[in-house]
Amino acid sequence: MHANNIMLMSKIDNEEAAANVDEIMEKTDAVLLARGSPGVDQKKMIDKASALGIPIVTAIQILVGQTTDDDLTNAVLDCTTDCVMLLLT
């Protein structure tokens, strides 16, 4: 594997990362947002990454047995990102 093929995906999931988002987005190839992370304005992060052409993945944690198909559908449809990652727990 050659170093020039390595790409970086940055996870923005806390207030410190949100405060440094401009610097992070200058150096990253993609962004991972954890839906509902405290201190993270998800819409602002999505708009900023989109303006820079950076792909965005939104992670959504779903409690198995505690949700309906409608809950899952709405969680996915609410995301305006390039990819949705479902975490089933």
Residue 18, token pair as written in the block? 């949100």
pLDDT at 82: 84
Give the Cα separation of 22 and 3 in Å (integer): 24
At residue 67, φ and ψ (nearest 5 deg) are -140, 160
| Identity of residue 89 | T
Give the Cα separation of 3 and 35 in Å (integer): 31
pLDDT at 52: 94
pLDDT at 10: 95
pLDDT at 72: 67
Which residue, chain included where needed, has tokens 């559908």? Answer: 73
The series of mean pLDDT values per 10 residues for the chain, 89 residues long, is: 79 89 94 78 87 90 70 70 79
pLDDT at 3: 64
Give the Cα separation of 59 and 80 in Å (integer): 12
Q: Model pTM?
A: 0.75
